[in-house]
Amino acid sequence: MTRPSLARSADIDGFVIGECVHHGGMATLWSVTHPGITAPLLMKVPLVAEGEDPAAIVSFEMEQMILPRLSGPHVPTCFGTGDFERQAYVVIERIPGKTLYSRLGELPLAYEEARVVAGKIASALADLHRQNVIHHDIKPSSIMFRESGEAVLIDFGLSHHNQLPDLLQEEFRLPYGTAPYMAPERLLGVRDDPRSDLFSLGVLLYFFTTGARPFGETETLRGMRRRLWRDPHPPRKLRGDYPPWLQEIVLRCLEIEPAWRYPTASQLAFDLGHPDQVKLTARSERMRRDPLSTVWRRRFDRGLTEPKPKVDLAAQLASCPIVAVALDIGEGSETLNEALRVTAQRILATLPSARLACLNVLKLGRVTIDRTLDEQGHNKHIDRLVALQHWASALQLDQSRLTVHVLEAIDPAAAILEFAAVNHVDHIIIGARQNSLVRSLLGSVSAKVAAEAVCSVTVVRPPRTAALREPGDKDGKVEEAVKVQAARP
């Protein structure tokens, strides 16, 4: 079959070729148009000439398989693919602007700006991982931003899809990726662990806040293998004003063993979104690398240097959800809050890596001027934070798994829904009071949350009194009814 020409004005399956906008090491990018598509488009074409790296062809096959399956604001929309028999290509939307690589001349960035940038990337990774894909090439040149602010991940040639054949794993033995950003387990052939992307993001955040790469610029395989046992210099050694909460996040991402990192991108994004609630450990205070005795112990620890068992991506994400419990701490709420505690305890008992966010909404008036102090002169916001911490103390959770939040809003349900969406909450637990005339006319907060949330919702009612209990009821210390909404797709 005759191959179509990659020349200006040529037609390939209805796509009209424009100018070549980029010539990379594994593919070229062309601007294209299509009479039925108004969005600006790019056509990516692999390099297949004599002497080209065969990995370029295999990685392009991976991109052809993966891109059409992805959706959402954090990936470019795919409009078409072509096979190798005639002309291999992928047509995607053209994201306006430049990649994050264009900002390298500005490093180091201000800590707050770097936090916001990294938070957006972590949110994009959380969305990608929920679609069964691990990127495996997170670096500045693989990240763009939409005009609306969302991070967009590009270049999926090295990616792993949990439900598709991994051609790179099957056909090559050497790890492919960008050396300074590659996770240690990748050197052992592990490609199915989503925490590898979190390591790469940790490298990027370290680089963007210190101006130095944590493992240098080396690209030799021997040099890269040192990261299996050698930790980087703590950022605070490079910059004396480095925030402890930020070092805690960065060094946790850069842990050698994946199990020591954040379990999910959602939990990493949560900490980046709430730096004041990051639980500080010894990581945050470190000024030196690990002593040589620790390094040598790692060097000969076969558990760290041998390949790891296969990771089930879906199971990994499901075992580490973010759970939010919405509490009313006003008078008369004690019974309902005890039922909420029992429900939360049951859920968290089966999910030892779950995070719990305790919420309360300080309702604001629509037309009145709200006072920050109550009649006794106490700060309302602080009192509610203390009440939430007191409620959660009975759960006896490790402090790294718990945060408390007082939201100030006119519409409590809308505030809870917004918190859940912004913070990638997987499950909301909320109480429902007994019926009243006001709730009948205006609708309840719990009903609105259950109807509109994009995650699972458990609605808990207070227990019945002894007189109203039916045969088979227990002692009334648990919820009367539970309603579960479909989980996030």
Write out pLDDT tens, residues 48-79.
765 566 778 888 999 999 999 999 999 999 99
Q: Is the pLDDT of residue 173 over 80?
A: no
Are 86 and 110 in the same domain? no
Q: What is the mean pLDDT of residues 452-471?
A: 71
Mean pLDDT check: name the lowest of 332-336, 370-374, 409-413: 370-374
Residues 6 or more apart whose Cβ sits within 8 Å of residue 37: 79
Output the six-digit token pair for 211. Answer: 């101006």
Are 355 and 393 in the same domain? yes
Q: What is the largest CA-CA distance in the chain?
A: 85
Are 172 and 224 in the same domain? yes
β-strand pairing of 15-23 with 11-12: antiparallel
Tens digits of per-residue pLDDT, 7-50?
A: 888 999 999 999 999 887 778 899 999 999 999 999 999 887 65
Are 353 and 293 in the same domain? no
Residue finishing a domain among 279, 296, 313:
313
Domain boundaries, position 467: 321-484
Are 107 and 35 in the same domain? no
**For residue 389, what pLDDT is reported?**
93
Please indicate, yes or no, if residue 435 is contained in any of the structural domains. Answer: yes
Closest listed residue to residue 251, CA positions, set 241, 264, 236, 267: 236
Average pLDDT, the chain: 86
The whole-angstrom separation of Cα 373 and Cα 276 is: 23
CB atoms closer than 10 angstroms to residue 154: 18
The whole-angstrom separation of Cα 123 and Cα 247 is: 20
Contact predicate 457/486, CB 8 Å = no
DSSP character at residue 373: B
Residue type, 67: L
Output the six-digit token pair for 454. Answer: 């994009």
The whole-angstrom separation of Cα 181 and Cα 189 is: 15
Residue finishing a domain among 280, 313, 346:
313
Contact predicate 399/369, CB 8 Å = no
CB atoms closer than 10 angstroms to residue 453: 22
**CA contacts within 13 A on the Cβ side of 233:** 14
The reported pTM is 0.88
Count of domains forming the chain: 3
Q: What is the mean pLDDT of residues 218-236?
A: 85
Task: Name the burial class of residue 49, with classes exposed (0-12), middle (13-18) and buried (19+) by CB atoms within 10 angstroms of its CB.
Answer: exposed
Are 171 and 274 in the same domain? yes
Residue finishing a domain among 273, 297, 313:
313
Q: Residue 141's pLDDT band (boundaries 50, 70, 90)?
A: very high
The whole-angstrom separation of Cα 153 and Cα 138 is: 8
Q: Residue 304's pLDDT band (boundaries 50, 70, 90)?
A: low
Q: What is the mean pLDDT of residues 209-225?
A: 84
Please indicate, yes or no, if residue 381 is contained in any of the structural domains. Answer: yes
**For residue 113, what pLDDT is reported?**
98
